[in-house]
Structure 1
């Protein structure tokens, strides 16, 4: 039997409504949930990660600020064996792109040929939780690698979505994602690219518990 397509549905003022989705902690523990459940994205719920209606009390708005970079194609950084694609506007600054000499703080930002092994570059790309990074080898772009549909709650951070969970929202977020295989959704309520995470939870010191 073909597994049901998991979905996350939202509007500008609503929480995240998960349908036919499995919810996990970052430690891999599966949480019991009904077929349809609501997850907080305003950052104010007293029952995190679940919504308790606080978004209405604080008059939360999920409106995304205009950001032309979200609609640009990823930058290409070509190497002799692998090309890395970087859509920087989707970056949540998770810090996994830390391969010394390859991911740098000077232009060009990414230098694939500085890696000892092509596999090392691909492994770093696969650690990117937002889909901002992908790679092309032998004319084939590598951007889908999760088989199980999951919503993973990061402690004091965003939701990591894996396995092709369909994102449906009233601001057409699916048109800016590089891949639906994996992406990150804001949980603190302060991201500038809502409903996607941009790493703002770190700068505002977002916490699960008050």
Structure 2
């Protein structure tokens, strides 16, 4: 296991207890250790049709440790691996940089808040457009109502592409998450999204190096991201669908 002092922890995040971590197999699945809960996280719209909340769907019972989650996109037993990666046409190589996300982020300053945005990690969940585009909101946010909307839109970004902090206190806002795994479903655009890793779970690459520990991360599960192991929104353009049914009243395909 990688020693704690060998990998960074993003400001505002904290590392999950050490029994929780994910190991990426060189040509295979994600090995998830510690048995964190795994649930569908369904993106649900508001009255205007914009992404607004996550609703929990199917809970995936697991007893193995580690649990093997598909990352090639071809398993017939999603979200779990069934060995399909051995014969699938996909590129398992990790291409994401081993650098802190905010190191390469654009900073957008407002009167009371600063927004960090690293588009490379966009998971196309679209919460950043829920009321008004967050990039416009942060530039005028002064009242507590305006600030809360900025925090809401940034905090609902599953990948952590968007991070917001207070200019006076320099305190980073992060939603409180326990170590857990979400399988994102996006019925609004009829696609299945990435694996949502919450609560500071460490992710160790195939080469043994750990990526920056972050409170919220999205991992590719369509097999086609150009920023592996992280999601870059490709699942939306390729219309990836995992075939896992949604419960009645929790979105439609």
Q: Map 1:168-179 to 2 at 5 A.
A: 168-170=204-206, 172=209, 174-175=211-212
CA contact (8 A) 2:179 2:201 kept: yes
CA contact (8 A) 1:13 1:60 kept: no
Stretches of structure 1 lacking an aligned partner (at least 5 in a row): 104-108
The residue aligned with 1:133 is: 162
- Closer/same/farther in 2, CA of residues 98 and 173 from structure 1, 3 Å limit: farther
The residue aligned with 1:53 is: 83
The residue aligned with 1:12 is: 26
**CA shift at 1:60, angstroms?**
3.8
CA contact (8 A) 2:28 2:72 kept: no
Q: TM-score, normalised by structure 2?
A: 0.70
The separation in 1 between residues aligned to 2:204 and 2:220, in whole angstroms, is 15
**Residue 24 of structure 1: SS of its match in structure 2?**
strand
The separation in 2 between residues aligned to 1:190 and 1:110, in whole angstroms, is 31
The residue aligned with 1:120 is: 149
The separation in 1 between residues aligned to 2:112 and 2:196, in whole angstroms, is 29
Q: Which has the higher contact order (CA 8 A, sep 6+)?
A: 2
Aligned partner (choices 86, 89, 101) of residue 117 of structure 2: 86
RMSD of aligned alpha carbons: 2.7
Stretches of structure 2 lacking an aligned partner (at least 5 in a row): 1-15, 42-55, 186-191, 245-253
Aligned length: 201
The separation in 1 between residues aligned to 2:130 and 2:81, in whole angstroms, is 38
Q: TM-score, normalised by structure 1?
A: 0.84
CA contact (8 A) 2:163 2:172 kept: yes
Aligned partner (choices 73, 83, 86) of residue 43 of structure 1: 73
